[in-house]
Amino acid sequence: MDIEELKKKIYDAVAASEGKKKLKAGDVQKQFAAEASRDEIKKAIRELVDSGTLTYAYLGGSYLVLPPKE
């Protein structure tokens, strides 16, 4: 799978779960395990976080969330 397509799918999954369930990075890896390798998923998450598209929230654990709106 193309890295940009994977990033889009990960972003959509996190956005869809917003306000319902908090997703950990491991949850995302499990969700997309059939579509990409673990390293590809980790790289996509890292690129999304580095670009500011997603952020980590620490609420008794580390969760992927959308950045706060200003």
The full set of domains in the chain, from first to last, is: 3-65 (1.10.10.10)
pTM: 0.90
Which residues, in sequence order, are bridge partners of residue 5? none
* pLDDT over 90 at 5, yes or no: yes
Whether the Cβ atoms of residue 66 and residue 19 lie closer than 8 Å to each other: no
Task: Report which residue type is found at 1.
Answer: M
pLDDT tens track for 20-52 = 999 999 999 999 999 999 999 999 999 999 999
d(CA 57, CA 59): 6
